[in-house]
Amino acid sequence: MSRPRLSKGLNWLVGSLKDESNRVLVIGDLHEPFCLEGYLDFCIKQKEKFNCNRIVFIGDVIDNHFSSYHETDANGLGGSDELEFAIKKIARWRDAFPVATVIIGNHDRIIMRKAQTSAVPTKWIREYKDVLEVDQWDFVDRLVIDDVQYIHGEAGTARTKCKADMMSTVQGHLHTQAYTEWVVGQKFKVFGTQVGCGINHNSYAMAYAKRGKKPAIGCVVVLNQGRTPINLLMDL
Q: CATH no. for residue 44? A: 3.60.21
Is 227 among the domain residues?
yes
Report how far residue 174's alpha carbon sits from residue 196's, in angstroms, rounded to the nearest whole number.
7
- 176 part of a folded domain: no
Could you tell me if 40 and 28 are in contact, meaning their C-beta atoms sit under 8 angstroms apart?
Answer: no
pLDDT reported for residue 89: 97
pLDDT the model gives residue 13: 65
pLDDT at 91: 98
Cα atoms in the Cβ-side hemisphere of radius 13 Å centred on 39: 29
Task: Give domain status of residue 79, yes or no.
Answer: yes
Q: At what angle do helices 39-50 and 79-96 cross, to 10 degrees?
A: 20
Taking only the tens place, the pLDDT of each residue in 164-213 is 999 999 999 999 999 999 999 998 999 999 999 999 999 988 887 777 78
Which amino acid, one-letter code, is at 180? T
- 3-state DSSP call for residue 236? coil
Residue 74 lies in a domain: yes
Per-residue pLDDT, 2:
43
Output the pLDDT for position 4: 44
DSSP annotation string for 159-182? HHHHHHHTSEEEE---TT--EEEE
Question: Is 40 within the bounds of a domain?
Answer: yes
Structural domain for 39, as ranges: 22-149+195-233
The confidence score (pLDDT) of residue 12 equals: 56
In-domain check, residue 92: yes
User: What are the C-alpha distances in Å from 9 to residues 13, 120, 204, 230?
Assistant: 8, 56, 46, 15
**Nearest partner of 35 among 59, 57, 55, 62, judged by Cα:** 62
- Overall domain count for the chain: 1
Question: Can you tell me the distance from the alpha carbon of 194 to that of 113, in angstroms, rounded to the nearest whole number?
Answer: 25
Residue 90 lies in a domain: yes
* pLDDT for residue 135: 96
Cα separation, 70 vs 103, whole angstroms: 22
* Residue ranges in the chain modelled with pLDDT below 70: 1-16
pLDDT at 119: 83
Q: What are phi and psi of 83, to 5 degrees?
A: -65, -45
* Residue 215 within a domain: yes
